[in-house]
Amino acid sequence: MAKIRLFIDHPLAAGQPVPLDQGQAHYLSGVMRQREGAEVAVFNGRDGEWTARIDRLAKREGTLMPVAQSAPQQDPPDLWLVFAPIKKARTDFIVEKAAEMGAARIMPVQTDHTNSERIRQDRLQAHAVEAAEQCGGTFVPEVTDLQPLQRMLSDWDPSRRILWADESRVGVAETLAGLPAGPWAILIGPEGGFSGNERRQLADLAHVVPVSLGPRILRADTAAVAAMALWQAALGDWGGG
């Protein structure tokens, strides 16, 4: 089994050459010290995982040759994670863990109490790719650009329910077992929580379901992991849905 996994944004089929970009070529040659003829695992988010042979490798370019599919494509359940960015390292953590835990889309939103006014969408997308490479997944969630919460809610399709991690319900004993299946999103607020206006807007939406995440107020990054774990266990692909 190949120990090195790469996300390749290119169709994968036996005998069809796959070009390496400069970063991938440098990683294989300069960081991992691979040579032509070595085998790596590759995936593109559509065609499963493939074993590929390094056909040609230089410092800035190279070519892989897919040999055989080693694992089928495994897509995540239809779950999105919506969150307010926090400090850089903790935002990175949220994106990485969301990709590992099976989010299909990751959506940063600007709220009244959001500390960050901008994000590097390309950098966060790269974190999602790296997380998928390391956890053995065959799917990379899209990380969207930052958008205002109000705009997102006004454009929202109500057929996708929103599980709102509501800090005001801390200590309430709840279960997700009775919630209906179907497309969902998890909404995690900023440090300091949502503003009064945002809370009233969310409470007025029939497709928003407020829930407690237990007896203690969790940090935003912890809440994202906890909410995804609860949803996956009840409705996702951890055996509950």
Give the residue extent of every domain in the chain.
5-71, 79-235
CATH topology of domain 5-71: Ribosomal Protein L25; Chain P (2.40.240)
As a whole number of angstroms, the distance between CA 189 and CA 150 comes to 13
pLDDT at position 2 is 64
DSSP 3-state assignment of 126? Answer: helix
pLDDT at position 240 is 53
As a whole number of angstroms, the distance between CA 12 and CA 230 comes to 34
* Domain 79-235 CATH superfamily: SPOUT methyltransferase, trefoil knot domain (3.40.1280.10)
| Tokens found for residue 39 | 């085998």
| Tokens found for residue 67 | 């040999």
Same fold, 5-71 and 79-235: no
| Strand 184-188 with 79-83, pairing | parallel
| Tokens found for residue 168 | 């005001």
DSSP 3-state assignment of 72? Answer: coil
pLDDT at position 189 is 95
pLDDT at position 172 is 80
pLDDT at position 174 is 78
pLDDT at position 171 is 78
Show the low-confidence residues of the chain (pLDDT under 70): 1-2, 239-241
pLDDT at position 84 is 96
